[in-house]
Amino acid sequence: MPGIHARYSPSHAAVWGTCTASVRAEENIPETDSEYAAEGTLAHAIAELKLCSRFGLLPADVCKSRLDMLRADPLYQKEMEEYTDIYADEIMKVCCAFPEKPYVIVEKRLDMGHIVPDCFGTADCIVLYGTILHIFDFKYGKGVSVSAENNPQLRLYALGAIGEYSVFGKIKTVFMNIIQPRIDNICSACMPAEELTAWGDKFGRRVKASIAAGGEFVPGEHCRFCKAKAKCRARAEMLLSAEEQKAREDRGEMLTDEEIGEVLLRAQLLAGWVKGLEEYVYDKLLRGEPVPHWKLVEGRSVRAISDINGAFAALEAAGYGSELLYERKPLGLTALEKLCGRKKLTELIGNYITKPSGKPTLVPESDKRKAFSQTRIAEMFKDN
C-alpha cells in the first residue's frame, strides 16, 4: 500500500529488534532518497513482473506492456534483466522440485501485528506446498552480504505468512531464502514452524515489554542502518567510552595483540561513525543551519573543457590530427556486462575471462567467509 509505512517495518527489524528505542529516535529524521534505493525499487518491479509472467499470475500481454514501461525508466540498466532472471530462476528451481505445482504468491502484504503492533510489510515471494512454506527476499544491493540465518526480517515475514495461510493446512517447515544476485549471494535457512513460532513469541514479548518501558538504546553494529546514527548519544558514548583506558598502569607499556585486535574493531566502528557525522554536518550547513566549529568552503576544482566539439575542431584546424587527439580504449568487464548482460558476455568471451585469487584481505572474525589457509598464502607469495 503506497504511502503507508509500518512503524515497526520488518526490513528494519535488525535495528528495532535490538535497539527498541530506535523507532522513537528516528522519528522526524527524513528519509534520504538515494539513486541506489530507486534502482532497487525498479529492479523489484521487474522481478515481480517476471514472476507473474512465468507463473501465469497476470496475462502475458499485461506483463509485457508493464515490463516495457519499466524498461523505459531512465534508471533501467540491461544488467537488471540478468539479475532478475537469476531471482526468478531460483524460485522456479524450488517450485520444480515439488511433485506438483505449488501455490505461488508474489508481492504479498503480510501483517505481523500479532507479534509486534504496527508491524507489517510486503514479502517478495511466497511458495506454499503441503506443509512447506518458502519465503523469498530479493536483495538488489551489493554493499552488505545479507545472511538468511537468524534474519529477523525473514522470520517475521514467515510468521506473517503462517498466520495468513495456515487456514489451508498446517505449515510444518519453513525455508527462508535470500537472493542477492549482484554479489552471488544465494542462501537459505530452514526452521520447523513450531520453533519459529516460539521465537516470534519470545521476540514479540521482549520488544513489546521494552517499548512499553520507553525503549532501550542498545548500540552495536546495527546502528549503521539507523537514521539516528549521527545524533544518537548512546552510540557516541559507546564509541567514545574511556573505560578501556582504565587501569592502564596494570597493563604493559605496549599493547598486546589481543588489545590491538579489539582496538581495530572499535576503530572501524569509529570510522563509520565519523563518516556519518560528516554527512550530517555537511547537510545541515548546506541547508544554511549553523553547526558550531564548522563551515563550508569552496573545494578544489578541476579544469574542464566547456565545449568539447568546438575545442577539438580548433585543435584539428591547427593541424593536430584526430589520431593525436583521440585514444581508443577497450571497455572493461563491468562496462561490457552492462552492454551485453553477464550471461551473453560469458557465452561470447567466457573463455577469455580469468579470475585470479584475491589478495588476502583483513576482515573481522565475524565475517562469514572462510579464512585463508597458510598454505594458500605461502603459494601466493612464493614468487615474491
CA distances from 128 to 104, 121, 131, 199, 226 (A): 7, 19, 8, 21, 33
Give yes or no for residue 228 binding ligand SF4 (CB under 6 A). Answer: yes
Q: Please choose, out of 56-64, 75-83, 214-222, 279-287, the segment that lies near ligand SF4 by the rule CB under 6 A.
A: 214-222
Nearer to ligand SF4 among residue 212 and residue 378 (C-beta): 212
Give yes or no for residue 223 binding ligand SF4 (CB under 6 A). Answer: yes
Q: Of residues 43, 112, 226, 281, which one binds ligand SF4 by CB under 6 A?
A: 226
Task: Report the distance separating Cα 243 and Cα 109, nearest Å.
Answer: 46
What minimum distance in Å lies between the beta carbon of 23 and ligand SF4? Answer: 9
- Residue corresponding to grid cell 504496527: 118
Nearer to ligand SF4 among residue 106 and residue 223 (C-beta): 223
Size of the site for ligand SF4 (CB under 6 A): 16
What minimum distance in Å lies between the beta carbon of 111 and ligand SF4? Answer: 25
Nearer to ligand SF4 among residue 73 and residue 221 (C-beta): 221
Buried b (16+ CB within 10 A) or exposed e, 81-94: bbbbbbbbebbeeb
Task: Report the distance separating Cα 135 and Cα 91, nearest Å.
Answer: 10
Task: Report the distance separating Cα 84 and Cα 76, nearest Å.
Answer: 12
Which residues from 153-172 bind ligand SF4, rule CB under 6 A?
none
Residues 15-44: x where in contact with ligand SF4 by CB under 6 A, - otherwise, as a string: x---x-xx--x-------------------
Q: Of residues 121, 160, 163, 219, which one binds ligand SF4 by CB under 6 A?
A: 219
Question: Which letter does DSSP use for residue 56 in this model?
Answer: T
What minimum distance in Å lies between the beta carbon of 151 and ligand SF4? Answer: 17
What minimum distance in Å lies between the beta carbon of 96 and ligand SF4? Answer: 41
Give yes or no for residue 235 binding ligand SF4 (CB under 6 A). Answer: yes
Helices (DSSP H) in the chain: which residue ranges? 13-16, 22-26, 35-54, 60-71, 79-96, 152-165, 193-212, 233-240, 257-286, 308-317, 322-325, 333-340, 342-349, 374-381
Task: Report the distance separating Cα 197 and Cα 116, nearest Å.
Answer: 13
Q: Which of 273, 177, 282, 189 is nearest to 230 (CA)?
A: 273
Task: Report the distance separating Cα 150 and Cα 141, nearest Å.
Answer: 19
Nearer to ligand SF4 among residue 134 and residue 235 (C-beta): 235
Nearer to ligand SF4 among residue 182 and residue 284 (C-beta): 284
What minimum distance in Å lies between the beta carbon of 201 and ligand SF4? Answer: 24
Nearer to ligand SF4 among residue 25 and residue 110 (C-beta): 25
Q: Which of 106, 180, 110, 108 is nearest to 138 (CA)?
A: 180
Give yes or no for residue 234 binding ligand SF4 (CB under 6 A). Answer: yes
Give yes or no for residue 229 binding ligand SF4 (CB under 6 A). Answer: yes
Q: Please choose, out of 43-51, 88-96, 213-221, 270-278, the segment that lies near ligand SF4 by the rule CB under 6 A.
A: 213-221
The C-alpha cell at 347 is 557465452
Nearer to ligand SF4 among residue 23 and residue 123 (C-beta): 23
Which residues from 261-320 bind ligand SF4, rule CB under 6 A?
none
- Residue corresponding to grid cell 518491479: 45
Instruction: Report yes or no: 91 and 51 within 8 Å, Cβ to Cβ.
Output: yes
Task: Report the distance separating Cα 161 and Cα 171, nearest Å.
Answer: 10
Which residues from 319-378 bind ligand SF4, rule CB under 6 A?
none
What minimum distance in Å lies between the beta carbon of 216 and ligand SF4? Answer: 9
What minimum distance in Å lies between the beta carbon of 268 and ligand SF4? Answer: 16
Proportion of the chain in helix, strand, coil states, percent, rounded to 5 = 50, 10, 40
Chain residues binding ligand SF4 by CB under 6 A are 15, 19, 21-22, 25, 217-219, 222-223, 226, 228-229, 232, 234-235
